[in-house]
Structure 1
Amino acid sequence: MTTDLDTAITRAFREESGQVVATLIRVTGDWDLAEECVQEAFALALRTWPRDGVPAKPGAWLTTTARNRATDRIRREAVGAEKLREAAHLAAAAEPEWDESGVHDDRLRLIFTCCHPSLPLEGQVALALRTLAGLTTAEIARAFLVSEATMSQRLVRVKRKIRTAGIPYSVPRSELLPERTAAVLGMLYLLFNEGYSASAGTDPMRTDLSAEAIRLSRILAGLMPGEPEVLGLLALLLLHDARRTTRVDEEGTLVSLEDQDRGRWNAAEIAEGTEILETALRRGVPGRYQIQAAIAACHTTAARASDTDWVQIAALYGELLRFMPSPVVELNRAVAVAMAEGPEAGLELVDKLTADDNLPGYHLLPATRADLLRRLARFDEAADAYRDALALAGTDVERAYLSGKLAETS
């Protein structure tokens, strides 16, 4: 029973904390106060839910409790009539206020606030991951390869900038949307990937983040229906999500794309994603998300793995490099070239990446090299490369998969 309750509380935190924090930021205008009151609400849940049971609507319970905590704190700290009026407003606040954009989703407002052009890019990403995805400061610090203390200071500075610059908690007017679009799309993609990675066993409690990213992308597509990259992102998320449940088997082992059960892929999401992608491409303004969605469509619309058009995928990765000149894209292109032209052609590209040392610590580089060497029957070299990849892998699921591949080389 205790385990079930702990799971319910953990799930409530993963699923509801971002929304509750976003709502508290809207009604208080104070990021630190909002986060602290939400933490207090969860602490109270830990004390009272074992006695009273889990509420039918945990999110509503947490929002009300956190808002009451904020009201009490403002009243205790009140100096003069203005603070008392603020507390009275907060106590009455329940529904989001309408703004000129007509968008009333607190999380989307929060994304646009984080993506204000006056904020540093790293600060935008870190703040969104902290408030939207519920990542701890330590987790964000690891993602940025900095110390927890350094990341904590970054978060303090960016929140201070929002407060002192008076950056509004709102979706901007339509003429101001383009200057934030790229950053907002990047945030939504990060949010989706956090949940998508969880679907492969890294943290089952975070899988809901993928659905949330898709939901917010739909809202954004409605807000900006003429922006092809917004449609491209939505298409990409749907096409990826269609394969989510087949990425691991019943034992929790990673399943490669070519070995996944295509009959279990979500046909409705594939059809919708493909249709949205075609709408975006007809605009004739290509971009990174549309190209990635086109690559995903090449995979998901192939009836069998052997039907995959690897020549087209390799060409698309070449095009993607114009928009995203990164070694990760180059590595993905090398895989596609290997599938289209043979493992030797792909290995030549991978060896160049290895020599350039542009992906230090990235386990997929030696893992890809190992796979190509194995396909060329160079088993001793493949085994060494798999061991290199194992030393860099970050999760048990990844290590189990690589260990299985290493065993195939002996």
Structure 2
Amino acid sequence: MPGGEHGRPARRAVEDRGTEDLLRELVPQVLGILVRRHGDFDAAEDAVQDAVLAAVRTWREVPEHPKAWLVKAATNALTDRLRSEHARRRREENAVAEPPPEVPDHDDTLTLLFLCCHPALTPPSAIALTLRAVGGLTTAEIANAFLVPETTMAQRISRAKQKVRTLEQPDPRSLRSVLHVLYLMFNEGYAGSVGPALNRVELSGEAIRLTRLVHVLRPDDPEVTGLLALMLLTDARRPARTGPHGELIPLADQDRARWDEALIVEGVALIEEALARGEIGEYQLQAAIAALHDDARTAEQTDWAQIDTMYALLERVTGNPVVTLNRAVAVAMTRGPAAGLALIDTLDDRLPGHHRLDSVRGHLHEMAGEKDRARTHYRAAAARTTSLPERHYLLGKAANLR
């Protein structure tokens, strides 16, 4: 739990992490409390920002109960917006001297995450709102990450806040919507779907940080543990995914000595812990597949037969055609490219126009020695993808087939 609640005193925590880290941890908790009490997302967010500014101005040392201090200061700021400027200043000045109010012991960060990740919101809106309210990123930073104008992102976040005000909270016993948003956020950061960069570390890193937070709050949920393991095992390969000029390096060609061994060890321990509970879910299965890839010291040592088995189980759990497309590679590696291509042929109606259909077909035709067909599919995939590094990679593959 955060400092000042069930753990070491807040002042000691600050010594260890610094005031800035403490405020970053407490802001989503305080915002969650105000939103739950007063229901106005915009006003609550403004009030919490006022409270943080007041803390920065007035704290000479961190108070004994920093979360309670911020809740009271934010509540006062929220009230002050309905009163005169003179009353607002008087309450802010009294915030330090007054005894801390009673604050709930539980952490409201997860409540705030549920609000931001409500299933009624579109995934882009939910991700943007989560990054703003829980992650603490500015609107400009979020806009930059998604390669859209700041005004466009501000409108998207504003609409999401207004939508949240009209919705009932989702059942807090279900984490599915939260995990889905964090999963999409990580994927967009690890393999950007648009623009010149393959990686957007600010997105993938924030997704990992927030998933770690959810894991602290829900340590016994195997899918939370599985998602965190999946992110760590995947992110461990990031240092080797790009060349010196940002070019894409596929898994088979990566320098595995550059993989982050500490993340692999942590991820493997987490997935083993999750699978031991016997409640298998999609994130655990994806993490298990990632662990099998990370366990291979060379591409030739990859256990494709077990990966195929895992993908077949994941197909039954999710029914997702992208899973079938990924499985086609494992099938090709174990039973030959013709078997993989036959599996892909079942997906044309389920993934119409998806660039990865052509990309994987190109790869399997290349495996089969069918260079002309491979070249045609690589070029078709390059024409459809919106990722510049991926486009350059696919065009390079086509050009090198002689």
Please report the TM-score for the alignment, with normalisation by the length of structure 2: 0.70
Conserved? CA contact 2:190–2:198, under 8 Å: no
- Where does residue 399 of structure 2 map in the other structure? 407
1:342 shift after superposition: 1.0
CA distance in 2, matches of 1:316, 1:301: 15
Separation in structure 1 between the aligned mates of residue 193 and residue 155 of structure 2, nearest angstrom: 31
Pick closer, same or farther for the CA change 1:26–1:204 going to 2, 3 Å.
farther
Q: CA, structure 1 residues 323+340, in 2 after alignment: closer, same or farther (shift >3 Å)?
A: same
For the 8 Å contact 2:197–2:388, the answer to whether it is kept is: no
Q: Check 1:20–1:197 CA distance in 2 against 1; reply closer, same or farther (3 A cut).
A: farther
| Contact 2:227–2:284 (8 Å) recurs in 1 | yes
Amino acid at match of 2:117: C
Query: Which of 82, 91, 97 is the equivalent residue of 1:78?
Result: 82
Aligned counterparts of 2:113 and 2:105: Cα–Cα separation in 1: 17
State the distance in 2 between where 1:91 and 1:206 align: 43
Aligned length: 344
- 1:350 corresponds to: 344
* CA–CA distance in structure 1, aligned partners of residues 46 and 274 of structure 2: 42
Between 130-139 and 281-290, the greater mean CA deviation after superposition:
130-139
Residue by residue, what CA displacement relative to the aligned partner does 1:248-300 show, whole Å, maximum 9, x if unpaired?
11122111101111111111111111111111111111000100000001100
Looking at structure 2, the residues matched to 293 and 264 of structure 1 have their Cα atoms a distance apart, in angstroms, of 20
Residues 193-232 of structure 1 show CA distances to partners (whole Å, capped at 9, x for unaligned) of 2322259984489403323322222222222222111111
Q: Where in structure 2 are there 5+ consecutive unaligned residues?
A: 1-23, 50-72
Q: Give, as a single letter, the amino acid of the residue that structure 2 aligns with 1:160.
A: Q
Q: What amino acid is aligned across from residue 360 of structure 1 in structure 2?
A: P
Match of 1:304 in 2: 298
- CA–CA distance in structure 1, aligned partners of residues 399 and 381 of structure 2: 14
Q: Does 2:116 correspond to 1:114?
A: yes
CA distance in 1, matches of 2:390, 2:90: 50
5+ long unaligned stretches in structure 1: 1-17, 40-67, 143-147
Closer/same/farther in 2, CA of residues 340 and 305 from structure 1, 3 Å limit: same
1:178 aligned counterpart, secondary structure = coil
Q: Secondary structure of 2:191's partner? A: helix
Is 1:178 matched with 2:170? Answer: no
Supply the RMSD in Å over aligned alpha carbons. Answer: 4.4
Task: Give 2:386's match in structure 1, choosing from 385, 394, 398.
Answer: 394
Residue 238 of structure 1 is aligned with which of 212, 232, 235? 232
Q: CA deviation at 1:158?
A: 4.4
- 2:246 corresponds, among 245, 252, 255, to 252
TM-superposed deviation, 1:316: 0.7
The alpha-carbon distance between structure 1 residues 255 and 71, as it changes in their structure 2 partners (threshold 3 A), is farther
1:215 maps to a residue whose letter is R
Partner residue in 1 for 2:274? 280
Report the counterpart of residue 182 of structure 2 in structure 1.
188
Q: Find the aligned partners of 2:145 and 2:82 in 1 and give their Cα distance.
A: 33
Over the matched positions of the two proteins, sequence identity in percent amounts to 44
Deviation digits for residues 94-136 of structure 1, max 9, x if unmatched? Answer: x9995443x36x5x5532222346x456564564366557544
C-alpha distance after superposition, 1:232-254 (max 9, x if no partner) = 11111110111011001112211
1:315 and 1:396 mapped to 2: Cα distance? Answer: 33
CA distance in 2, matches of 1:84, 1:307: 70
Indicate the residue corresponding to 2:15 in structure 1: none
Which of these residues, 288, 299, 302, is aligned with residue 294 of structure 1?
Answer: 288
Match of 2:8 in 1: none
Say which of 367, 370, 381 aligns to 1:375.
Answer: 367
2:318 is aligned to 324
